[in-house]
Amino acid sequence: MALQKEIELTNGVKVNYHRIQRVEYNLVRNQTIVHIESYVNKDIREESKRVPTLRSAVDRLNQQLILASESNNADLVKSLRIKINDLLVEYNVKVNKRYSANMTHLYIDGLPEKDLSLKGVYELVKTLDTYSKSKEV
């Protein structure tokens, strides 16, 4: 779930895909704190999701490499090393890339009255001027 609305940042960059990254409830201050990551578009966000997937793929291939080495399967070892290397190159490029264009921290007085779910927090955010008239995507 995310919100779609074009917002121009103070540096002139236009972002139009916003997703809640974290929500905190401060009961002492009676405050809801919402951390929103904004992206230039949804495609950039989708690309950022690939980073953990790449790391998991490398870990799985490393396990297969250990088994192939133990069974003295030289062709498989060579093939797995090539695949691992290719994935690590892609991973290193993507892990060092900054995907989000902005992180906004919203400090909202009070707590959501009815719905503390993520959907409820999105509804709360949509009541704020900056995110009013945004579309859920």
Do 66 and 87 belong together in one domain? yes
Amino acid at position 16, single letter: N
Summarised one tens digit per residue, pLDDT across range 61-119 is 999 999 999 999 999 999 999 999 999 998 888 877 778 888 899 998 877 676 778 88
**Residue 116 domain-assigned (yes or no):** yes
Highest mean pLDDT: which range of 45-54, 55-64, 100-109, 120-129: 55-64
Give the residues across from 135 on adjacent strands: 4
Do 53 and 22 belong together in one domain? no
As a whole number of angstroms, the distance between CA 125 and CA 122 comes to 5
% of the chain exceeding 70 in pLDDT: 99
Q: Domain count for the chain, please give it.
A: 2
**Residue 136 domain-assigned (yes or no):** no
Do 28 and 63 belong together in one domain? no
What is the reported pLDDT for 65? 94
Three-class secondary structure of residue 126 per DSSP = coil
Boundaries of domain holding 92: 46-100
Q: What Rg value do the Cα atoms of the chain yield, rounded? A: 21
Here the tokens at position 41 are 């578009």
